[in-house]
Amino acid sequence: MASNAENSPNSQGGNTEPDAPSSQWRGNRGRGGYRGGRNDGNSGDRSDQRNGNTNQRRGGNRGRGNRGFGASTGARGGFRGGLSQPSPAVPPPPLAGGGTFGDRLTEDAAKVEGEEGVKGGNDAATEDGDAEVCFICASPVVHNAVAPCNHRTCHICSLRLRALYKTKACAHCRMNADYVIFTDDPEKKFEDFSPEDFSSSDDNLGIRYEKPEISEDTLLLLRYNCPDSTCDVACLGWPDLHRHVKSVHQKVMCDLCTRNKKVFTHEHELFTQAELRRHEKFGDDNPGASDQTGFKGHPECGFCRQRFYGDDELYTHCRDKHERCHICDRRDNSRRQQYFVDYNALELHFRKDHFLCPDQECMEKKFVVFDSEMDLKAHQLESHPNGLSKDARRDARRVDMSSFNYRSSHESERGGRRDGRGRGRGRGRDPNVEPIPVSSAQPLRRDELAYQRQMAIQSAQSVSTRTFGGQLTSGDAFAARPPPRAEEPQTVTAPRPTAPENEAFPNLASLNLEPQTTSTADLTPQEQARRLRHNAVTERAANMLRNDQTKLGEFRNRVSSYRSSKITASELIEAFFSLFDTSSQQLGKLVKELAEIFEIVSKREGLLKAWSDWKAINEDYPSLPGQSAASASSSASAASGSRVLKLKNSTAQSSRSAVSKQGSWGASGNQNLFPALRHAVASSANRAGAGRVGPTPWGAATASQRPSLTPSRTPSQQHASKGISRINTEAFPALPATAKPTTTVFSPGYGGSAVRRETAARGGGNNPWGSGVGASSSSTAGVGDADSETVADQSTGQKKKGNKNKKQTLFHFG
């Protein structure tokens, strides 16, 4: 802005000899005159003004009503004078000092739209909106900007587009213009201007000025003017301006806004520190205020704690700096984007929720991860055949048919769950995840289908009688066999987080099916699945007994005695221990699988309870399930623990709102739940304690939850929850739900809602359980059920199936 520098001395000069010179040139300039004339609709008037009727014009008619008329005499007038003088070609003595300029400028700019009308009204009622209003900003036109297409805007809108939005497109027709003409002539066509009509031009901005005054007015807008409405300082640059507002006004400007917001300098806002924080977090939205902007705050990256100007900027940042899971994205692209802080976090997610190729080379390559175990095996067979033993290779070629049987279309809404067992094993693994409609409804890719078919054929050929139904084979050697094997061949499955989590799934699969069996007419697939599961249990038992038929018979006897209530669950457990000569870990799996095939809820629960009781008594310090895997994941989740805390804090807002919608949820109850969860995540080592935790703590959880279900019971239960709330914290670590690194998941958004737990996002609106889960944690809700059969039954009746799954999940952690 060279011209500014030039001008400032002039202004000073103007100041020294206030009004006289200015009025003179003003007449020549005819700028105010136009305005006035137009407003009056009286051309005669206009010409009159041009002739030098300056005082009146200045006060009353000038388009720039905003330039404080009362004050205009001093600095203002001087300013004017300064500006005008160049045109008379009488350069005033160069004096330093830009203050005056600033003054005029600020006022000018700051009030361009807002006050013009007001002031104009004050003065002569000439500025009424209808007279001539810029189509774009709806403010009175001060100078016209004419584009080659002969579309007009006010010079401010035109300058805004060209200087701030960096576009040369016409605001009306988007036609690009190399230059536009700033003129005071309201009608003259673009092509009627000849080069000699221009007093100056700015090739950088592409503007030709008809008059120097217009140029002045324009360039003034571009200076670093202090936004304070009473301050007339124009600074040399941003740093200077920041210093100025800080030292003079004790205010700050929003750094993000000054860098990104497309407004003129003086249009920025000044904040106190507190106001700035508010501005960043919530925006300036001030309902009802006349100056409200609709701005809702600068969104923050939940990982970096860094704010960005807007969603676009945040998106760019996340895209460049953080990772997304392409598999999840592919599954459901309508969901909110979820990011992982870096590849390590993403890899953890891959291990946990998908099928990561554990091969060293692939790990280095990164992103070698698959949607399903099937795909992973295909990849392994293809790419690393040498890494697998012969047996493993054969196993890998086998297909767990059970998984396919389960997929029947009418069940698709809960597919995510059931898939935990089979093909999409990666899909339903997360107990936090409510059924994801799209995921399993998504058709198999063509190549996947083909591959499956091929696999099925191969396995039919290569294995004999045991071929069909993966479960028929003995579990441990069977690579494709679903979850619970701790001793899954290393080559096939990447280290899995923890056994409890895995073990949860077979149960889910079964539980899904059983109610269905009774409730729907379509029995076939379920029936099949049930048989398969029975077989699987038998198979496992047989395997553990080394196919000793007598012992197997004994096993069957015991089970049927339990079924017919001849013996209690704990007796059954005891019997198992005498019968099986294996580790309690092994036995636990059997018990759990066995439990899940009981259709009678009480039997199932009784057995599981007995099992967890036994463990509570006999295994004070159970080893972590699935050693290496567990340690890996637990350390990871511990690492992310601190992040959770932060994320939680920032989520507080949004979850609270979810809760309040809920109505029946006591806020305090939720607060109680949160610390427990955090604790859980942070110290996931405790997870092993899961086994120890008897039914009582679960009960506590129930109590705190139940009010939402059955308000009448509230008092006693609340009491219960108070008593055991301490235990709650211990109980929670057991739940895989809490350990899930939802912590590292965040989606961009404004302020508080930027980060939220995955679950929260999914909490259903009308299902109290669903949303309850969202607000606190799925684990809690589920646990709540476990404690008593009545509740469980009740919920069976009234809840959606997805939730039931959750409940069931929890039985099996012990």
Partner 1 sequence: MANRKRIVKELSDVTRSPPPGTRVQLLDESDVHIWEVLMDGPPESVYVGGHFKIKVTLPTDYPFKPPLLSFTTKIYHPNVSNDDKGSMCLGMLRSDEWKPANRISAAIEMARNLLIAPNADDAVEVSIADQFKNDRAEFEKIAKDWTKRYAGKA
Contact flag: residue 171 with partner 1 (CB under 8 A)? yes
- Cα–Cα distance for residue pair 468/485, rounded to 1 Å: 19
410 binds partner 1 (CB under 8 A): no
* Site for partner 1 contains 165 (CB under 8 A): yes
Residue 6 Cβ vs partner 1, minimum distance, rounded to whole Å: 29
Minimum CB separation from partner 1 for residue 375, in Å? 24
Tell me the closest approach of the beta carbon of residue 524 to partner 1, in angstroms: 29
* DSSP string of 77-118, one letter each residue: HHHHHHHHTTTTT-PPPP----HHHHHHHHHHHHTTTTTHHH
Taking CB under 8 A as the rule, does residue 267 contact partner 1? yes
Range in contact with partner 1 (rule: CB under 8 A) among 25-33, 133-141, 583-591, 783-791:
133-141
Indicate which single residue of 93, 195, 287, 797 sits in contact with partner 1 (rule: CB under 8 A): 287
The nearer residue to partner 1, 304 or 441, going by C-beta atoms, is 441
C-beta of 206 vs 283, nearer to partner 1? 283
Q: Exposed, middle or buried by CB within 10 Å (0-12, 13-18, 19+), for 515?
A: middle
User: Binding to partner 1 by residue 112, rule CB under 8 A?
Assistant: yes
| Residue owning tokens 């030709």 | 208
According to DSSP H, which parts of 663-800 are helical?
A: 667-682, 695-705, 714-731, 736-739, 758-762, 768-775, 778-786, 789-798
Burial of 173 per CB tally in 10 Å (0-12, 13-18, 19+): exposed
User: What's the number of CA atoms in the CB half-sphere (13 Å) around residue 357?
Assistant: 26
CB 60 to partner 1: min, Å: 22
- Nearest residue (CB) to partner 1, 503 versus 758: 758
Say whether residue 409 binds partner 1 (CB under 8 A): no
Query: Interface with partner 1 includes 190 (CB under 8 A)?
Result: no
Binding part of the chain for partner 1, among 158-166, 453-461, 607-615, 672-680 by CB under 8 A, reads 158-166
At closest approach, how far in Å is the CB of 113 from partner 1? 5
Instruction: State in angstroms the smallest separation of the CB of 294 from partner 1.
Output: 3
Tell the smallest beta-carbon distance from residue 217 to partner 1 (Å): 16
Type of residue numbered 652: A
Residue 288 binds partner 1 (CB under 8 A): yes
Contact between 256 and partner 1 (CB under 8 A)? Answer: no
> Is residue 311 involved in binding partner 1 (CB under 8 A)?
no
Our finding on whether 762 is near partner 1 (CB under 8 A) is no
- DSSP structural state of residue 209: E
Give the x-and-dash track for 216-235 against partner 1 (CB under 8 A).
--------------------
Task: Give the helix ranges, DSSP H, for 283-425.
Answer: 311-321, 326-331, 343-353, 360-365, 373-383, 390-397, 401-405, 415-418
Q: Give how far Cα 227 sits from Cα of 83, 100, 155, 263, 687, Å.
A: 22, 15, 20, 11, 57
Report d(CA 724, CA 212) in Å as an integer: 81
Q: Can residue 136 be called a binding residue for partner 1 (CB under 8 A)?
A: yes
Q: Which listed residue (1, 20, 90, 138) binds partner 1 by CB under 8 A?
A: 138
- Strands 144-146, 224-225: pairing is unpaired
Instruction: Return the sign of the alpha-carbon dihedral for residues 592, 593, 594, 595.
Output: positive
Task: Check binding of 334 to partner 1 (CB under 8 A).
Answer: yes
Query: Which of the ranges 169-177, 577-585, 697-705, 773-781 carries the binding residues for partner 1, by CB under 8 A?
Result: 169-177
Interface with partner 1 (CB under 8 A), residue from 131, 149, 256, 263: 263
Binding of partner 1 at residue 441 (CB under 8 A)? no
User: 456: which 2 tokens?
Assistant: 């099925």
Q: Residue holding tokens 């004078």?
A: 81
Task: Say how far apart CA 611 and CA 786 lie, in whole Å.
Answer: 14
Assess 445 for contact with partner 1 (CB under 8 A).
no
Q: Taking the complex as a whole, how short is the minimal distance between the CB of residue 296 and partner 1, in angstroms?
A: 9
Number of residues in contact with partner 1 under rule CB under 8 A: 33
Q: Which stretch binds partner 1 (CB under 8 A): 150-158, 508-516, 678-686, 723-731?
A: 150-158
Q: Which tokens sit at 380?
A: 């392994």
Span from 92-100, 283-291, 352-360, 671-679 in contact with partner 1 (CB under 8 A): 283-291
The one-letter amino acid at 551 = K
DSSP-assigned letter for residue 169 = B
The one segment of 9-17, 62-70, 221-229, 282-290 that binds partner 1 by CB under 8 A: 282-290
d(CA 382, CA 368): 13
Is 293 among the residues that bind partner 1 (CB under 8 A)?
Answer: yes
Q: Angle 601-618/695-705 helices, nearest 10 degrees?
A: 120
Give me the sign of the Cα torsion angle 37, 38, 40, 44: positive
Distance CA 618, CA 774 (A): 35
CA distance 140 to 143: 9
Is 157 an interacting residue with respect to partner 1 (CB under 8 A)?
A: yes
Q: What is the dihedral of CA 100, 104, 107, 110, to 10 degrees?
A: -110
- The verdict on 791 binding partner 1 (CB under 8 A) reads no
d(CA 180, CA 151): 10
Q: Among residues 257 and 701, whose Cβ is nearest to partner 1?
A: 257
Judged by CB under 8 A, the residue of 176, 273, 292, 520 near partner 1 is 292
Interaction between residue 253 and partner 1 (CB under 8 A): no
Question: Rule CB under 8 A: is residue 113 a binding residue for partner 1?
Answer: yes
Residue number, 138 or 450, with CB nearest to partner 1 = 138
Helix axes 75-84, 212-221, angle to 10 degrees: 120
Strand ranges (E), 15-174: 144-146, 152-154
Stretch that binds partner 1, among 152-160, 218-226, 599-607, 671-679 (CB under 8 A): 152-160
172 binds partner 1 (CB under 8 A): yes
User: How far is 359 from 200, CA to CA, in rounded Å?
Assistant: 70
Asked if 26 touches partner 1 (CB under 8 A), the answer is no
Point out which span in 289-297, 612-620, 696-704, 707-715 binds partner 1 (CB under 8 A): 289-297
Least distance to partner 1, CB of residue 287, Å:
4
In 178-293, where does DSSP find H-type helix?
212-221, 238-249, 255-260, 273-282
**Least spacing, CB of residue 174 vs partner 1, in Å:** 5
Is 135 a residue that touches partner 1 (CB under 8 A)?
Answer: yes
- Contacting residues toward partner 1, per CB under 8 A: 112-114, 135-139, 151, 156-157, 160-161, 165, 169-174, 262-263, 267, 285, 287-288, 290-295, 334
